[in-house]
Amino acid sequence: MRVFLAVDIPEEIKAKIRDIQKNFEKERFDIKFVEPENLHITLKFLGEVSEEEIEKVKRRVSSVVKDFSVFKIEMKEFGYFGNEKYIRTLWIGIGNEERLIELINKLNKKLDYIRKDKHKPSPHLTIGRVKSGKNREYLLKTIEGLKYVKIGEVYVKEIKLKQSILTPQGPVYRDIETFSLVE
């Protein structure tokens, strides 16, 4: 099964992100937005993992989260992956991310035997994927206007092991296990 570790986003933050997505929809940019129920911060993508291996993953994740107490991050700033000629992915940035990066690094140490990440952690929340360069200049101006947006704070209280089921309509995520941080 295709799995990943993530932090879910509270409904009030999802609503603010949905408002941003609607602004882009009004302009008829060619963007496939992440559905509100699928908004999350990916900590580690593991890819295809067998049922037997899932149990090992659960034990290893549990051994990491037991050393972390609840912490706060800030959803702020707006940006994109790609370059000015080819914008690929729209994202919301994360501030106050030191503890989140520490958590990601510890998860990587325990789980890199499954899939090794090539890049340093760069926590973000993907809100959409740009499908074409339609209205590119105006898209860049719209992104620039949102560059310093502040969305709100999120308390990271738990992380989830999720299954990603790919369908023609887009991915469907199913929670496999929830790991609570120390209160």
> Mind telling me the catalytic residues?
40, 124
How many Cα atoms sit within 13 Å of 178 on the Cβ side?
8
Residue 149 in contact with residue 20, Cβ under 8 Å? yes
Cα separation of 142 and 131, whole Å?
16
Cα separation of 18 and 8, whole Å?
15
Neighbours of 132 (CB within 10 A): 11
| Token couple for 77 | 């700033």
Residue 36 in contact with residue 18, Cβ under 8 Å? yes
Residue 158 in contact with residue 180, Cβ under 8 Å? yes
Residue 125 in contact with residue 94, Cβ under 8 Å? yes
